[in-house]
Amino acid sequence: MHYIGQPIKRIEDPRLITGHGTYVDDLVFQGTKFVAFLRSTKPHARIKIAKREGIFTGEDINPGKDFPIATNETTYIGQPIAAVIAKDRYEAYDLLESIEVEYEDLPYVIDPYEALKDEKKAYSGLKSNIYINKTYSKGNPEEAIKNVDFVIEDELINQRMIASPLETRGILAYFDGQRLNVWSSTQSAHFLRRNLVQFLNYSNIRVIQPDVGGAFGSKIIAHPEEYAVSKLALKLGIPLKWVPTRTEEMISAGHGRDKSMRFKVGFNKNGKIMALMGTIVGDLGAPYSDANDDESGNVLSTTKMVLGPYDIPNASVTAYAVHTNKVPTTSYRGAGRPEATYFIERIINIIANELKMDPIEIRLNNVVKPNEMPYDNGFGIVYDTGDYVDILNKAKKYYTELSAEAKEKGYCTGLAMYVEITGFGPWEVARVFTKSDGKIIAITGSGPHGQGDATAFAQIVAETLEIPIENIEVKWGDTDIIEDGIGTWGSRTVTVGGSAMLKAAQELKSRFIEIASKMMNADIEELEYKEGTITHKTENKKLELSDIIKYAYKNGISLDVTSVYAVSKPTSPYGVHMAMIDVDKELNKMRVIKYIALDDIGKVINPMLAEGQIHGGVLQGIAQALYEGAKIADDGSLLNSNLGDYGFPTAVESPEIKWYYIEKGLSAHPTGSKGIGEAGAVVSTPVIVNAVENCLGKRIKTMPLSLGDSL
Amino acid sequence: MKVIENNEKTKIHLKINGNVYEYETEPRRLLVHVLRELGFTGVHVGCDTSNCGACTVIMNGKSVKSCTVLAVEADGSEILTVEGLAKDGKLHPIQEAFWEKHALQCGYCTPGMIMEAYWLLNENPNPTETEIREGISGNLCRCTGYQNIVEAIKSASQKLRINQTPYQHQ
Per-residue DSSP letter, A374: S
Contacts of A450 in chain B (CB under 8 A): 105-107, 143
Which helix (H) or strand (E) segment is A93 a member of?
A: helix A89-96
**With an 8 Å Cβ cutoff, are B110 and A213 in contact?**
no
Computed over every residue of chain A, the mean pLDDT equals: 97
For residue A644, how many other CB atoms are within 10 A of its CB? Answer: 13
CA distances A641 to A162, A638, B75, Å, are: 10, 6, 32
Give yes or no on whether A255-422+570-709 and A424-566 have one common fold: yes
Angle at alpha carbon of residue A668, lines to A663 and A674, rounded to 5°: 50
CA–CA dist A525, A236 (Å, integer): 61
Residue A452 three-state SS:
coil
Which helix (H) or strand (E) segment is A484 a member of?
A: none
DSSP per-residue string spanning B82-94: GGGTSBTTBPPHH
Which helix (H) or strand (E) segment is A320 a member of?
A: strand A314-323
Residue B166 is predicted with a pLDDT of 44
pLDDT at B167 over 50: no
For residue A373, how many other CB atoms are within 10 A of its CB? Answer: 16
CA–CA dist A332, A339 (Å, integer): 11
Cis-peptide into A570, omega within 30 deg: no
Per-residue DSSP letter, A81: E
Question: Helices A224-236 & A189-200, crossing angle to 10 degrees?
Answer: 60
pLDDT at B153 over 50: yes
Q: Which domains does chain B have, with CATH numbers?
A: 10-82 (3.10.20.30), 93-164 (1.10.150.120)
Beta bridge partners of A317: A136, A278
pLDDT band of residue A470 (cuts 50, 70, 90) is: very high
pLDDT band of residue A711 (cuts 50, 70, 90) is: low
Across B20-59, b (16+ Cβ under 10 Å) vs e yields ebebebbeebbbbbbbbebebbbbbbbbbeebbbbbbbbb
Query: What length is written for chain B?
Result: 170
Out of B54, B91, B145, the one facing A166 most closely (by C-beta) is B54
Residue A51 is predicted with a pLDDT of 87
Burial class for A344, CB neighbours closer than 10 Å (0-12, 13-18, 19+): buried
> With an 8 Å Cβ cutoff, is B25 touching chain A?
no
Burial class for A238, CB neighbours closer than 10 Å (0-12, 13-18, 19+): middle
> With an 8 Å Cβ cutoff, is B149 touching chain A?
yes
Q: What percent of chain A clears pLDDT 90, i.e. is strictly above it?
A: 97
CA–CA dist A412, B45 (Å, integer): 39
Instruction: Give the neighbor-by-neighbor strand order of the sheet with A150-162.
Output: A130-138, A314-323, A273-285, A255-267, A150-162
CA–CA dist A371, A419 (Å, integer): 17
- Answer whether B66's CB lies under 8 Å from B57's CB: yes
pLDDT digits (tens, 9 = 90+) for A66-80: 999 999 999 999 999
**With an 8 Å Cβ cutoff, are B47 and A643 in contact?**
yes
Angle at alpha carbon of residue A527, lines to A523 and A533, rounded to 5°: 140
- Going by their DSSP bridges, the two strands B62-65 and B10-16 should be labelled as unpaired
CA–CA dist A107, A636 (Å, integer): 12
pLDDT at A1 over 90: no
**With an 8 Å Cβ cutoff, are B85 and A216 in contact?**
no
**Terminal-to-terminal C-alpha distance of chain A:** 56
**With an 8 Å Cβ cutoff, are B110 and A16 in contact?**
yes
Domain boundaries, given as residue ranges, for chain A? 15-106+166-214+219-251, 255-422+570-709, 424-566
pLDDT digits (tens, 9 = 90+) for B110-132: 999 999 999 999 999 999 999 99
Q: Which CATH superfamily is domain A15-106+166-214+219-251 in?
A: Aldehyde oxidase/xanthine dehydrogenase, a/b hammerhead (3.90.1170.50)
Amino acid at A378: G
pLDDT at B168 over 70: no
Cis-peptide into A426, omega within 30 deg: yes
pLDDT at B164 over 70: no
Alpha helices by DSSP H, A447-592: 453-465, 498-520, 545-554
Across A269-293, b (16+ Cβ under 10 Å) vs e yields eebbbbbbbbbbbbbbbbbbebbbe
Amino acid at A391: I
Across A193-205, b (16+ Cβ under 10 Å) vs e yields bbbbeebbeeeeb
Out of A13, A26, A652, the one facing B104 most closely (by C-beta) is A13
pLDDT at A414 over 90: yes
Residue A266 is predicted with a pLDDT of 98
Cis-peptide into A68, omega within 30 deg: yes
CA–CA dist A615, A519 (Å, integer): 51
Q: What percent of chain B clears pLDDT 90, i.e. is strictly above it?
A: 89
Residue A584 is predicted with a pLDDT of 87
Interface-testing mutation among A10, A17, A650, with chain B (most B C-beta atoms within 10 A) = A17
Rg value, chain B, Cα: 17
Burial class for A701, CB neighbours closer than 10 Å (0-12, 13-18, 19+): middle
What's the distance, CA A434 to chain centroid?
A: 33
Is the four-CA dihedral A452, A456, A461, A466 of positive or negative sign?
positive
Contacts of A161 in chain B (CB under 8 A): none
Q: Does the predicted interface ipTM exceed a cut of 0.95?
A: yes
Residue A709 is predicted with a pLDDT of 53
Residue A213 is predicted with a pLDDT of 98
- Answer whether A29's CB lies under 8 Å from A241's CB: no
Extended strands (E) in B98-137: none
pLDDT digits (tens, 9 = 90+) for A576-598: 999 999 998 887 789 999 999 99
Which helix (H) or strand (E) segment is A679 a member of?
A: helix A679-696
CA–CA dist B53, B111 (Å, integer): 10
Burial class for A409, CB neighbours closer than 10 Å (0-12, 13-18, 19+): exposed
- Choose among A121, A112, A100, A115: nearest CA to A44: A121
In this structure, which topology does domain A255-422+570-709 adopt according to CATH? Aldehyde Oxidoreductase; domain 4 (3.30.365)
CA distances A72 to A78, A199, A284, Å, are: 15, 20, 21
Residue A434 three-state SS:
strand
For residue A191, how many other CB atoms are within 10 A of its CB? Answer: 24
pLDDT at B163 over 90: no
**With an 8 Å Cβ cutoff, are B46 and A10 in contact?**
no
pLDDT digits (tens, 9 = 90+) for A480-519: 999 999 999 999 999 999 999 999 999 999 999 999 999 9
**Helix, strand and coil percent figures for chain A, each rounded to 5:** 30, 25, 40
**With an 8 Å Cβ cutoff, are A654 and B147 in contact?**
yes
**With an 8 Å Cβ cutoff, are A214 and B105 in contact?**
yes
Average pLDDT for A93-99: 96
More confident residue, A175 or A568: A175
pLDDT digits (tens, 9 = 90+) for A146-185: 999 999 999 999 999 999 999 999 999 999 999 999 999 9
Q: Does domain A424-566 have CATH number 2.70.98.10?
A: no
Average pLDDT for A26-41: 97
Query: What length is written for chain A?
Result: 711
CA–CA dist B45, B58 (Å, integer): 16
Residue B170 is predicted with a pLDDT of 31
Residue A148 is predicted with a pLDDT of 98
Q: Name every residue whose Cβ is closer than 8 Å to that of residue A239 and which is 6 or more positions away in sequence.
A: A29, A30, A31, A32, A33, A172, A173, A174, A233
Average pLDDT for B9-20: 98
Out of B36, B86, B147, the one facing A615 most closely (by C-beta) is B147
Residue A569 is predicted with a pLDDT of 87
Tell me the shortest Cα–Cα distance from A614 to chain B, in angstroms. 9
**With an 8 Å Cβ cutoff, are B148 and A651 in contact?**
no
Tell me the shortest Cα–Cα distance from A538 to chain B, in angstroms. 45
CA distances A444 to A101, A263, A290, A460, A644, Å, are: 46, 43, 24, 12, 37
CA–CA dist B109, B107 (Å, integer): 6
Alpha helices by DSSP H, A325-418: 337-355, 359-364, 388-409
CA–CA dist A639, A162 (Å, integer): 13
pLDDT digits (tens, 9 = 90+) for A198-230: 999 999 999 999 999 999 999 999 999 999 999
Tell me the shortest Cα–Cα distance from B58 to chain A, in angstroms. 14
State the greatest distance between any 2 C-alpha atoms of chain B, in Å, as a whole number: 55
pLDDT digits (tens, 9 = 90+) for A123-155: 999 999 999 999 999 999 999 999 999 999 999
